[in-house]
Amino acid sequence: MSSFEELRKTRIEKIKLLEKAGMEPYPAISKNDYSISEAVSDFEVLTKKKNISLVGRIMAIRGQGGLVFININDGTGVFQGLLKKDEMDEKVFDLFQNTIDIGDFIEINGKLFITKRGEKTLQVLNWKILTKSLRPLPEKWHGIQDEEERLRKRYLDIMFNPDVKEMIIKRAKFFGSVRSFLEKNNFMEVQTPILENTAGGAEAKPFITHYNAYDTDVYLRISPELWLKRLMVAGFPKVFEIGKVFRNEGVDAEHLQDYMHFEFYWAYADYNIGMKFVEEMYKYIAQETFGTLKFKIKEYEIDLGKKWEKYDYVEIIKEKTGIDIFKTNIKEVENKLQSLKVEYDKVGFNLNRAIDSLWKYCRKQIAGPGFLVNVPTMMEPLAKRMYANKDLVERFQPIIAGSELGKGFSELNDPIDQMERFTEQAKLREEGDEEAQMMDGEFVEALEYGMPPTFGFGVSERLFWFLMDKSGRDCQIFPFMRIKG
């Protein structure tokens, strides 16, 4: 029998001792007068009470004989308890000694005092088991070292790694600040479908699942965009959604296949108005979440408070690679990619994908903050063309630390133009481009009823990952893991 199996067997035997003593090892009810954070902050007032009850997980047990010190943690803080054999029921003390381990949840009842060393402490007069743990916790001083095991047992990683716990708190603040900023600006939060007959609103390969009730295959959404624009047709002036999207593509430090995403749509606004609004929103999010506008991201020093530049898509590529994207062909671009040693996906490869790979090479050289503008129409099937130059669209993307962190544009509301662009995308799909957008005739039908001039913007939790300067998996609470074995 392994040492773990022996430990587990011993703890199961302790459950039997608890039951024999008349104590339920997994009770439903506990008495929790104050959180530990309240016990610490209101300590002087609470010392005047005859006794109080605290609850939490035992994180440390030290002492021997008739004196035992414990530390408990209830998620709001850590508090010390003291059991003295000669000042409590001897049977209750002995039961504690014989049955309780680090990792167990308990309720302790007694009076507050300060030790000679100045530590706030609860002298335990009585206790009650709340949950008997069967597995020993990892040793506090090193926790879980293996990366895969750390993410697989994330609950232990959170318990012993304060940086991970702080990340989760900041993650909550991040999405809370998104919501509060948009609500302060009179946007209404909505929820739209996750299962779709047509996966649209972005260029990505979707997940496919089966709808048993209707005996039909459906897609997990890659974006809520086309649903939210239907609400613009319906007459709502400002809407937003925070929710999951799914993209069946590669996984790396900057890309995951399911993640949180938020989008908002603003009737009677355009991308120039939107650009100013997004800059203000990013600064608000950063300040509310991190308390600063200055960040170290990869090799870049980023200050969101400085002037945001504008980067011309066509001119940047020409400047850094010598390629004029309006006067090139797929062979020339592919040769350039190879000479620059840029890796690219050859499946479904076409001129659009080739130019996009060229741009990704260029963007890594731009620190930001700023906005990418003047994107060719052929690269964006859902944005409105510029009135003065039909080859370009009214689209921008925030550039921070060499990457695009969001996308916004004046929405295409011309149903004829939209149908033509969907048709072009359909041709690309037929040629093998699985990321090209699907034909969505029902959306075009909605546009034919009329959608007002609208600005739309979307960004994923990738913005949070970048501001944290960590990988996507590290910044998700429970990232997807392969089945073990």
pLDDT the model gives residue 465: 98
Count Cβ atoms below 10 Å from residue 199 Cβ, excluding itself: 25
Structure token pair of residue 286: 């950063």
Residue pair 468/277 in contact (Cβ under 8 Å)? The answer is no
Report the C-alpha gap between 149 and 108 in whole angstroms.
33
Q: Is 171 helix (H, G, I), strand (E, B) or coil?
A: helix
Beta bridge partners of 228: none
Q: Which CATH number fits domain 156-308+368-475: 3.30.930.10, 3.40.50.150, 1.10.10.10, 3.40.50.2300?
A: 3.30.930.10
Residue pair 127/18 in contact (Cβ under 8 Å)? The answer is no
pLDDT bin (cut points 50, 70, 90) of residue 432 is: confident
Residue pair 279/287 in contact (Cβ under 8 Å)? The answer is no
Answer positive or negative: Cα dihedral of 474, 476, 480, 485.
Answer: positive
pLDDT the model gives residue 349: 81
Residue pair 413/452 in contact (Cβ under 8 Å)? The answer is yes
Report the C-alpha gap between 14 and 17 in whole angstroms.
5
Q: Per residue in 163-202, pLDDT tens?
A: 999 999 999 999 999 999 999 999 999 999 999 998 877 7
User: Minimal CA–CA distance to 150: which of 366, 485, 473, 368?
Assistant: 473
Tell me: pLDDT of 69 over 80.
Answer: yes
User: Minimal CA–CA distance to 206: which of 215, 195, 192, 214?
Assistant: 195
User: Minimal CA–CA distance to 397: which of 202, 215, 255, 247?
Assistant: 202
pLDDT the model gives residue 444: 92
**Which one-letter amino acid corresponds to residue 397?**
Q
Report the C-alpha gap between 387 and 393 in whole angstroms.
9
Structure token pair of residue 161: 């790694």
Report the C-alpha gap between 26 and 132 in whole angstroms.
7
Average pLDDT over residues 398-405: 96
Q: In what order do the strands lie in the sheet with 195-196?
A: 195-196, 216-220, 208-211
Q: What value does the CA radius of gyration of the chain take, rounded to a whole number of Å?
A: 29
Give the angle subtended at the CA of 460 by the CAs of 457 and 466, to the nearest 5°: 120
Residues of the chain with CATH 2.40.50.140: 3-131
Residue pair 453/413 in contact (Cβ under 8 Å)? The answer is yes
Average pLDDT over residues 375-392: 90
pLDDT the model gives residue 77: 96
Give every CB contact of residue 42 below 8 A, 6+ residues apart in sequence.
Answer: 34
Report the C-alpha gap between 450 and 452 in whole angstroms.
7
Q: Per residue in 273-320, pLDDT tens?
A: 999 999 999 999 999 999 999 999 999 999 999 999 999 999 999 999
Tell me: pLDDT of 160 over 70.
Answer: yes
Beta bridge partners of 5: none
pLDDT the model gives residue 125: 96
Tell me: pLDDT of 158 over 80.
Answer: yes
pLDDT bin (cut points 50, 70, 90) of residue 1 is: low
Report the C-alpha gap between 160 and 144 in whole angstroms.
9
pLDDT the model gives residue 60: 95
Q: Per residue in 228-255, pLDDT tens?
A: 999 999 999 999 999 999 999 888 888 8
Give every CB contact of residue 250 below 8 A, 6+ residues apart in sequence.
Answer: none
User: Minimal CA–CA distance to 382: which of 416, 422, 433, 354?
Assistant: 422
The chain-wide mean pLDDT, for the chain, equals 93
Residues of the chain with CATH 3.30.930.10: 156-308+368-475
Q: Is 66 helix (H, G, I), strand (E, B) or coil?
A: coil
Structure token pair of residue 380: 């964006």
pLDDT the model gives residue 425: 85
* CATH number for region 3-131: 2.40.50.140
Beta strands in 401-447 (DSSP E): 403-404, 407-410
Q: How far is CA 413 from CA 73, 336, 418, 448, 452, in A?
A: 56, 36, 7, 9, 7
Report the C-alpha gap between 315 and 374 in whole angstroms.
9
